[in-house]
């Protein structure tokens, strides 16, 4: 690699992943005396790259030479450029020399007693100074590296660690959150010699606990303190003192020294690993040493035993999960989005006080995206007035005090993990609920059944309750099944059974329209802002439309079953009036049209405000409007080919009103509407009775007595109801003339299988979006 880069010094931008190729490229550039700008994977096209204009770019896909001679004046001592622990939105870099790298690696190797037979796992990214220090210090001693991007929360990581006889790994505070979650205390790791921690303050009680575990299991626990400006490390706490002095950062590393500045109490570090200085533009690459010592910005004290302890920050920079966050830049970001806010930090939390009427979910998402932080470490408080000092300046201490402890000792962290699994998300906190996390009717079924199993019961309105308030019933409780889930399961069985002529009980699809309105109101008409509401509704529609078009398209191509209006869910508008198979999907078309119309209605700011003021009155008004077409008061049916949605959307509105009925008289009003409008609609009393019974149950009975077995079957059927409806048209006709029961069973099985396939595709698409979203967000900001 050094030979390929040549003898002419050039600035090399390297995407530093935990791979052999990345390590080889890094070592080769250093060996050839080429300064390296180390960036995260995928950041070669970032604003940082644009600001420094590298001569060579090395990605996982290969090496690209942009010029044969450098466009920059590169100082002879310059070896490495690192971002300052991930500073938010800043081109500011730390300039490090070869001597900085060598000296710090040698010091770390000395106090950790790194040996040639050690093997360290790369639990941290190489582009982060802490992760890079693991690489440098081990290779300096001829030790080995277990190169991996696997998380410590992944079982495959521990299988690799054991098989490779790993002797150490490093972690930031969040790493130890994950270790607690995966049961690290009970793991048997016979080759493990030591564990290191840095990148932010670890609570003293956890330091004590991990030190005790290490002593019990035969490994050492090193708490360390450092900054990118010191190449990596400045201090370490000798493992034998971790239990007695868990709040201390320890003593200076070999070759380094501290002093506490009189008056301010700021900790100042000196040593051969102190950076050359900062770079804020490409012209700064020509500079030599501009600093002699490092002002850490931390306020410290030195104990009688010679150990140093950090007691505060001189500046407002916060280090959260190893990332240096400037709250002022967060405030500026929110200001650009029209949100006035004051930001502060406490331990590993970023606390945001936003001026009403800001939406806390939107603010949390904006901050998480900009800072690349998980939502769980961001606390948002919407206030009528931002806290100020008597001078008029922001009161940051008041903002900091808005938030209590991260979670109480009995916080249901296992439930947070359950919500993350079911909703395919990350960063769930005990303050979240199913609704605030974006849950919808498709994920609700799975979540309700799993939650009841975990708690022993299902609390009323559990989907709106913060996770911290969900408590198990000792010894379990009586099993029950939520009525909306039971109705979805029963309705789809009635639909398929009736179509296959196993029995003749019609009305299931129209009952489902009421259930759809009920779930729409519960999961989409939340306290979130208007934009978030609309986004959530659009996502829900996408989860209906995408699998529908995919299945209908496949049936068109393979079976020549449908015409183009069906493919685009337009049969009720452009399809045949009579005959044909286009009517198969009238229910899905009606649901999509109703959701589109409702979304357009709620997109009007005035209507959105009206819904929040009159959550029960608005659906009653919509239902009244629907009765115009229900009873054809304008005599439109004989003259026009009206889509089914126009005739049935009053049922959707009834379900909507049922969800918002919070008093006895409101429920009586909805029941009266059901009893007054459903009879006579079909001209079939038995069919109307099915719809009436289902909707009345929805209004008055939150849950039904059940058993575990019934719940599991109902959950599968309800969760797959949309997919069963889609697919059964291609299944039961081939079997019904042989055995109607077999036709129904096969239809249900195919629909359930399609639901599993669609869910898997959606999860993979979501995972791909999460991987790409930082790049997309960065491009959007630029």
Mean pLDDT for 684-693 is: 96
Nearest-CA neighbor of 30 among 79, 96, 83?
Answer: 79
**Number of C-alpha atoms within 13 angstroms, CB side, residue 537?**
28
Helix H or strand E segment including 294: strand 294-302
Beta bridge partners of 270: 257
Q: Per CATH, is 419-479 categorized as 3.90.1530.10?
A: no
Cβ-count burial of 50 within 10 angstroms (0-12 exposed, 13-18 middle, 19+ buried)?
exposed
Helix or strand holding residue 772 (H, E)? helix 740-781
Q: Per residue in 129-139, pLDDT tens?
A: 999 999 999 99
Sign of CA dihedral 382, 417, 433, 761: positive
Q: Name 295's bridge partners.
A: 268
Q: pLDDT tens for residues 291-305?
A: 999 999 888 999 999
Is a pLDDT exceeding 60 seen at residue 718? yes
Superfamily of domain 326-400: ANL, C-terminal domain (3.30.300.30)
In terms of residues, how long is the chain?
Answer: 782
Instruction: For residues 727 and 731, give the distance between their C-alpha atoms in angstroms, rounded to a whole number.
Output: 7
What pLDDT digit, counting tens, does each position of 347-395 carry?
678 899 998 888 887 888 888 878 877 777 788 888 888 887 554 557 7
Mean pLDDT of 631-660: 88
Considering the chain, what percentage of its residues have pLDDT values greater than 90?
Answer: 57
Q: Where residue 86 falls among pLDDT bands split at 50, 70, 90?
A: very low
pLDDT at 567 over 50: yes
Rg (CA), the chain: 31
Higher pLDDT, 634 or 506: 506
174-216 pLDDT tens trace: 789 889 888 899 999 999 999 999 987 788 989 999 999 999 9
Q: Is 699 exposed, middle or buried (0-12, 13-18, 19+ CB in 10 A)?
A: buried
The residue ranking higher by pLDDT, 345 or 602, is 602
Tell me which CATH homologous superfamily contains domain 75-313.
ANL, N-terminal domain (3.40.50.12780)
pTM over 0.95: no
Q: Where exactly are the structural domains of the chain?
A: 75-313, 326-400, 419-479, 483-763
Average pLDDT, the chain: 87
Q: How far apart are CA 400 and CA 98, in angstroms?
A: 40
- Render pLDDT for 44-76 as a digit per residue (tens, 0 to 9): 767 788 889 999 999 998 999 999 999 999 999
Report whether pLDDT(781) > 70: no
């Amino acid at each position: 690699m050094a030979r390929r880069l040549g003898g002419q010094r050039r600035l090399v931008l390297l995407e530093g992943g935990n791979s052999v190729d990345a390590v080889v490229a890094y070592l080769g550039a250093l060996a050839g005396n080429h300064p390296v700008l180390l960036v995260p994977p995928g950041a070669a096209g970032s604003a940082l790259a644009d600001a420094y204009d590298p001569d060579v770019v090395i990605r996982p896909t290969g090496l690209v030479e942009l010029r044969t001679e450098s466009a920059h004046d590169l100082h002879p001592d310059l070896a490495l450029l690192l971002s300052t622990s991930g500073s938010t939105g800043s081109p500011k870099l730390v300039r490090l020399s070869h001597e900085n790298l060598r000296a710090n690696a040698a010091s770390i190797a000395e106090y950790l007693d790194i040996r040639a037979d050690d093997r360290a796992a790369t639990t941290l990214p190489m582009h982060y100074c802490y992760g890079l220090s693991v690489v440098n210090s081990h290779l300096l001693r001829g030790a080995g590296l277990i190169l991996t991007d696997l998380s410590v929360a992944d079982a495959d990581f521990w299988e690799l660690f054991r098989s490779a006889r790993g002797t150490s790994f490093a972690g930031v505070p969040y790493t130890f959150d994950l270790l607690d979650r995966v049961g690290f205390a009970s793991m048997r790791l016979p080759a493990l010699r030591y564990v290191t921690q840095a990148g932010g303050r670890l609570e003293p009680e956890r330091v004590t606990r991990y030190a005790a575990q290490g002593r019990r299991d035969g490994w050492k626990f090193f708490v360390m303190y450092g900054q990118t400006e010191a190449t990596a490390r400045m201090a370490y706490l000798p493992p034998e003192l971790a239990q007695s002095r868990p709040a201390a950062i320890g003593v200076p590393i070999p070759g380094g020294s501290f002093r506490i500045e009189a008056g301010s109490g700021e900790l100042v570090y000196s040593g051969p690993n102190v950076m050359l200085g900062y770079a804020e533009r490409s012209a700064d690459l020509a500079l030599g040493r501009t600093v002699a010592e490092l002002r850490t910005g931390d306020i410290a004290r030195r104990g009688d035993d010679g150990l140093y302890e950090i007691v505060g920050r001189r500046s407002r920079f916060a280090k959260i999960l190893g990332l240096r966050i400037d709250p002022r830049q967060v405030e500026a970001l929110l200001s650009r989005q029209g949100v006035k806010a004051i930001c502060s930090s406490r331990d590993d939390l970023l606390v945001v006080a936003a001026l009403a009427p800001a939406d806390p979910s939107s603010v949390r998402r904006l901050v998480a995206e900009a800072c690349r932080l998980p939502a769980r470490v961001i606390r948002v408080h919407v206030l009528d007035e931002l806290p100020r000092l008597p001078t008029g300046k922001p009161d940051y201490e008041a903002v900091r005090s808005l938030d209590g402890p991260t979670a109480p000792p009995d916080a249901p962290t296992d439930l947070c993990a359950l919500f993350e699994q079911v909703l395919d998300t990350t960063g769930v906190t005990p303050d979240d609920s199913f609704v605030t996390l974006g849950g919808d009717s498709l994920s609700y079924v799975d979540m309700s059944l799993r939650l009841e199993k975990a708690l022993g019961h299902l609390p009323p309105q559990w989907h709106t309750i913060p996770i911290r308030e969900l408590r198990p019933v000792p010894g379990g409780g009586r099993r029950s099944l939520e009525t909306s889930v039971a109705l979805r399961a029963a309705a789809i069985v009635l639909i398929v059974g009736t179509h296959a002529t196993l029995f003749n009980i019609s009305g299931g699809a129209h009952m489902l329209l009421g259930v759809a309105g009920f779930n729409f109101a519960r999961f989409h008409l939340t306290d979130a802002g208007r934009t978030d509401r609309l986004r959530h509704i659009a996502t829900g529609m996408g989860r209906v439309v995408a699998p529908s078009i995919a299945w209908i398209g496949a049936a068109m191509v393979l079976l020549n079953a449908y015409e183009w209006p069906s493919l685009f869910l337009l049969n009720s508008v452009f399809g045949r009036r009579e005959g044909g198979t286009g009517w198969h999907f009238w229910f899905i078309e009606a649901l999509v049209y109703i959701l589109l119309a409702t979304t357009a209605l709620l997109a009007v700011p005035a209507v959105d405000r009206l819904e929040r003021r009159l959550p029960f009155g608005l659906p009653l008004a919509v239902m009244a409007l629907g009765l115009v077409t229900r009873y054809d008061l304008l005599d439109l049916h004989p003259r026009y080919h009206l889509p089914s949605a126009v005739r049935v959307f009053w049922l959707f509105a009834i379900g909507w009103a049922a969800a918002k009925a919070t008093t006895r008289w409101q429920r009586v009003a909805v029941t009266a509407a059901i009893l007054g409008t459903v009879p006579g609609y079909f001209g079939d009393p038995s069919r109307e009775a099915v719809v009436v019974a289902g909707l009345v149950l929805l209004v008055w009975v939150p849950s039904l007595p059940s058993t575990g077995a019934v719940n599991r079957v109902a959950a599968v059927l309800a969760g797959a109801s949309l997919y069963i409806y889609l697919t059964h048209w291609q299944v039961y006709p081939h079997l019904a003339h042989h055995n109607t029961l077999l036709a129904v069973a096969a239809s249900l099985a195919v629909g359930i299988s399609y639901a599993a396939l669609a869910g898997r595709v959606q999860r993979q698409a979501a995972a791909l979006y999460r991987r790409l979203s930082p790049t997309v967000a960065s491009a959007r900001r630029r």
